[in-house]
Amino acid sequence: MQTDKTNKLTVGISSMALFDLVESNKVFELEGKAAYCAYQIAREDEALDPGVAYPLVKKLLALNARLPSAMVEVILLSRNSADTGLRVFNSIRSHQLDIKRAAFTSGETPFAYISPFQIDLFLSTDPVDVRQALDAGHAGATILSGKGAELENGQLRIAFDGDAVIFSDESERIYKEHGLDAFTVNEQEAARKPMSGGPFKSFLSALHGLQSHFSEEDSPVRTALVTARSAPAHERVVRTLRSWNIRIDEALFLGGLPKAEFLRSFGADIFFDDQTTHCELASKHVATGHVPHGVANES
């Protein structure tokens, strides 16, 4: 049955991001594909434990109970085969996750199915698949092993870095190539010129669309911008979001301070950043998605 994509948020997730497949993957790496298939089939009635992105998926799907209609969908995009994927689907049923659609590609990248499924955000543990998604203009992030939010308040809290994630990397390139002073001068001179959108602009816009069904006080979704920028480079950020008509609930301009403690205080269910150093530190406190996009990820 086909559904209308309008105002819908669709997230694609790999089986290794959703469930803990570390032991299963060891079998694949040490003994090969045939042994892995036999291992999964023999255990297909044993539910897999939650993976690092499981709490995020649980909260995303729970939003549907508070929305006018089912406006959030999670789709499984897996390198498993249909045979080995049966354990994953049985685990979905065991954990009572409302996930109905899936693509099992038997070892091939599931990238080709992101567009036909109209996926707004792709989460995977495979950086190659994520890079393909980003290169094609889709929001995507490599999920790092880490821990979920400690605050169990039922509210979905998502934090984003700014440059090369929500915004393009045009300003970050100036910083990388010419230094902080040149970056600051550029941002002051271009303060009233909105930045171009980055790979996560459309995903942030979709979240904003969900938030529009609630008052700010009652919204089950809360967003935060957590950026190394500081004044006076903050003004261009504020004016850019205003020009997009997108609300950010909290904005933290840290001026280069480490982000991890601030993310824990915010209670992020997940944080997206383009720089590996920030991601590795953040993953000790919150679930983190590395966005391998922009100048910081060019070899």
What angle is formed at CA 120 by the lines to CA 96 and CA 61, rounded to 5 degrees?
20
SS3 content of the chain, % helix, strand, coil (to 5): 40, 20, 40
**What tens digit of pLDDT does each residue of 71-86 get?**
999 999 999 999 999 9
By DSSP bridging, strand 250-253 and strand 121-124 are unpaired
Q: CA distances (Å), 96 to each of 47, 80, 89, 105, 204, in order?
A: 11, 21, 10, 24, 27
Task: For residues 233 and 174, give the distance between their C-alpha atoms in angstroms, rounded to a whole number.
Answer: 13
pLDDT tens, position by position, 198-252: 999 999 999 999 999 999 889 999 999 999 999 999 999 999 999 999 989 999 9
The predicted pLDDT at position 72 comes to: 97
SS3 11: strand
pLDDT surpasses 60 at 144: yes
The token pair at 73 is 């969908």
**pLDDT per residue as tens digits for the range 185-196:** 999 999 999 999
* Average confidence score pLDDT of the chain: 92
Domains in the chain (CATH in brackets) are 9-142 (3.40.50), 156-297 (3.40.50.1000)
- Which of 45, 83, 135, 161 is catalytic? The answer is 161
CA distances from 54 to 15, 118, 147, 209, 271 (A): 10, 21, 11, 23, 14
Distance CA 22, CA 216 (A): 40
> How much is the pLDDT for 29?
87
Predicted model pTM: 0.93
Is the pLDDT at 3 greater than 50, yes or no? no
Told to judge if 98 belongs to the known catalytic residues of this protein, a careful annotator would answer no
CB atoms near residue 187 (< 10 Å)? 21
